Structure 1
Amino acid sequence: MAEDLTLPPEWAPHAALWVGWPHLPEEWGGALDKARAEIAGFVETVSPHVPVRIAIGSDAAATAAEAHGLDKLADLVQVPTGDIWLRDTGPIVVYEDGRRVARTFAFNGWGGKFEMPGDKETAVAIAEAELIPQTRDAFVLEGGSIEGDGLGDLLTTRECLLNPNRNPSLGQIDIEKRLRERLGVARIHWLPQGLAHDHTDGHIDNAARYVGPGHILCQDPFGTDDPQAERLQQIKTRCEAIGVDLSTIPAPGRVLGPDGGPLPASHLNFVITNGIVVMPGFGTPSQSAAREGLEAVFPDRRVVVLPSSFLLHGGGSFHCMTCPIPASKDT
């Protein structure tokens, strides 16, 4: 292990923010244009705060991005990519002995459920585009499955990281050893599971987020018919047991997909970048209170709520579709 190895927290300064851009119509159930409009709104909102790079997977996708005016707001970068969820297919950048190093972990389509051409090459391509040295790793790890506080604490779920569809030959002790060696974390806190109906097998970024050193944010159930109520209470109880500062915001409550089934909607799938926090909204009554809760834990940042319903139909939201590039330590 390097003498000085740190996983930077998401509120650390960003040199750039990568954003996924859909280019596979069959993955969006007829809502491709609506999902693109939500992403364009996100890019327009964050681009005054951070340089944005949009991962373009095809020439047709580039043309569509230009039609939304994104070439005037961001760099359109051709990289191999299938789906848009760069949090999981992109690199995880750490500070190692004072310099940035990109960890390019293996990716297996969330346990073999959604394998698309290009996704296994995305992390390496982004690291190369950013001119950041990289270490390649056969260990399967998705960025949305971990949350660090910048001081050595890490949150994750057993449902995802200990799932036999990721690293079947590794047990908890082996996985913790790799997390410490690759990311420089010291204390690993395991939640039993994330949200129900989540094809990522319970990613932490829908369940609990660090919003400061030793400060966790999770969600309270909203409404009498919240399909996540039991899991949200389990998540909160486990976070309380960690012994950190704990804040909560209301969950979206019952959000249904095009097929009438419940979706893993979460106001926690927000993006923190330079001077701003962007929270996904789903048009539910909890939205205003959730925004106020975020304003309370991020008093020095502007909090914006943007629509994310069609992104959710596709499998994620703003945090899932972005990959942050931390600033150099000397900037």
Structure 2
Amino acid sequence: MTDAISDKGYRMPAEWEPHSAIWLAWPYDEKSFPERVGKVENAITKIISAIHLSEQVELLVLDNAMRQKAEQKLCGLDVEINKITFRTVEYIDGWMRDCGPMFVKDKFGRPAMVKWIFNVWGGKFTDLLPDDKLPYRMKDWLKINMEEPQLVLEGGAIDLNGQGLCLTTEQCVLNENRNLGKTKKDVERYLDKYLGVKKTVWLFEGLINDHTDGHIDELARFVGPNKIVCAYEDNPKDENYAILKNNYETLAGATNLEGRPFEVIKLPMPHLYFKDAPAGNEQDSKAPVSYTNFYIGNKVVLASVFNDPNDEKALQILRSCFPGHEVIGIDCSDIIYGGGAIHCLTQQQTL
């Protein structure tokens, strides 16, 4: 981290700031979505249909045959194909939030990308390592500067308000399977140099069965400069109760750069269990889902829902947080078999 980097004055805008595009990858891998690829394709199609009129869609496809298949499905929902830029490239899983770069601006307002080290969530899925190369292709396409800090970090591991504040978890970013030997201060220096973060609020851990080791985008998100929505479980017998209670209390006791407390809003929890889990092993079958895994677009908020009784309550809370946006719920009950939901699939490109 040289003085030259520091002098560039990088800042990662908040997700609600204007985008020029949204990046997605067309799903195809049966290993990622066993017996569910078709259903996940349908969900991606709904995501694109909901967002494409308010921001350009950059869509990764493997080849022309996949492009034609995607076009056919999209046309079935009256998507305007001229709003889609198809990018032909090799990829496997394509969770753009984590394997893709983060888009930032320098002190002159010029766009740049930050490519962190992507080690497939602590080395758990080595067959997906080729996706770490996607940012290089994106750099070639977009022809903008790209920095490469020597820190393991996924996009889902942090959430920023665009004004110097960051949320993250110790379980993920300080995990020995990612950044062995690094301290909070070490990580915070990187976040400052490359994203413009001046203060980080550290939660301890994330949801049960989350193979990402506690990504923040399943726990808490900024919905305004000083406003946070936080996943919260009311049932003391639930496996996530103590974890989420501790997270809420940490946020409620935290302060912003001026020393003022945040407005912290509780989001209820959905309860989804993997259908193919071993019988009687309910804890291991509990899916790591929450309503914080939403995407904030230019005019719409795409909210992950799960055919759960709490879906509508969560949507109403999000609508109150985003009165200027249309909040659209999209069923992610099949997407979660791949390990994520809407926010995990997407990456915004700053305007």
Which residue of structure 2 aligns with residue 96 of structure 1?
A: 106
Partner secondary structure for residue 34 of structure 2: coil
Shift of 1:220: 2.3
1:88-125 CA-partner distances (Å, limit 9, x unpaired): 00111111122111011111111101131531111222
Cα drift, residue 227 of structure 1: 3.4
- In the TM superposition, 1:112-261 aligns within 5 A as 112-115=123-126, 116-221=128-233, 226-242=238-254, 243-252=261-270, 254-260=271-277, 261=285
Moved more, 264-273 or 136-145: 136-145
Q: TM-score by structure 1 length? A: 0.94
Are the aligned partners of 2:32 and 2:337 in contact in 1 as well (CA < 8 Å)?
Answer: no
- Contact conserved, 1:148 with 1:154, CA < 8 A, in 2? yes
2: distance between equivalents of 1:60 and 1:195? Answer: 38
- Distance in 1 between residues matched to 2:138 and 2:8, nearest whole Å: 26
Letter in 2 for 1:280: S
Kept in 2, the 8 Å contact 1:157–1:190? The answer is yes
SS at match of 1:303: strand
**Deviation at residue 69 of structure 1 after TM alignment:** 2.7
Question: d(CA) in 2 for partners of 1:224 and 1:25?
Answer: 37
Structure 2, unpaired ranges of 5+: 1-5, 255-260, 278-284
SS at match of 1:195: coil
More strand by share: 1
Could you give the per-residue CA deviations for residues 155-179 of structure 1, whole angstroms, max 9, x where no partner exists? 1000000001112142222112111
2:325 to 293, 301, 304: 301
**How far off its partner does 1:245 sit?**
1.2
Larger Rg over CA atoms: 2
TM-superposed CA distance for 1:80, in Å, is 3.5
Seen in structure 2, the aligned counterparts of structure 1 residues 58 and 140 have a Cα distance that, compared at 3 Å, is farther
Opposite residue 33 of structure 1, the aligned amino acid is G
Q: What's the secondary structure of 1:76's corresponding residue? A: strand
In 1: Cα distance, 2:67 partner to 2:118 partner:
25
Structure 1 unmatched ranges of 5 or more:
none
Partner residue, 2:301? 277
Give percent identity, aligned residues only. 31
Q: Give 1:58 shift.
A: 4.3
CA distance in 1, matches of 2:221, 2:62: 30
- Which shows bigger deviation, 261-270 or 17-26? 17-26
**Residues 120, 129 of structure 2: 8 Å contact kept:** no
SS in 2 for 1:105: coil
Alignment check: 8 A CA contact 2:274 2:286 kept: yes
The 3-state SS of whatever aligns with 2:327 is strand
Report if the CA contact (8 A) 2:139-2:145 is conserved: yes
Paired residue for 1:14? 19
Contact 2:156 2:217 in 1 (8 A): yes
Residue 10 of structure 1 aligns with an amino acid whose one-letter code is: E
Per-residue deviation, 1:230 = 2.0
What displacement does 1:223 show? 5.5
| CA distance 1:172–1:223, change in 2 (3 Å) | closer
- Is residue 8–residue 94 contact of structure 1 (8 Å, CA) maintained in 2? yes
Deviation at 1:233, TM superposition (A): 1.1
Backbone CA RMSD of aligned residues: 1.7
Match of 1:218, SS state, is: strand
Task: Rate the CA distance shift 1:51–1:222 in 2: closer, same or farther, 3 A.
Answer: farther
Query: Is contact 1:23-1:60 (8 Å) kept?
Result: no
Taking the aligned partners of 2:143 and 2:309, their CA distance within structure 1 comes to 44
CA distance in 2, matches of 1:245, 1:190: 17
CA 1:117–1:164 in structure 2 vs 1: closer, same or farther (change >3 Å)? Answer: closer
Contact 1:258 1:313 survives alignment (8 Å): no
Q: Deviations over 1:112-143 (max 9, x none)?
A: 01131531111222233223221123321111
Q: Check whether the contact 1:239–1:246 (CA below 8 A) recurs between aligned residues.
A: yes
Counterpart of 1:255 in structure 2: which amino acid? L
Secondary structure, counterpart of 1:11 in structure 2? coil
- Between the aligned partners of 2:195 and 2:168, the Cα distance in structure 1 is 13
Aligned partner letter, 1:143: G
Which position in structure 2 is the counterpart of 1:290?
A: 314
Deviates more, 1:157-166 or 1:176-185: 176-185
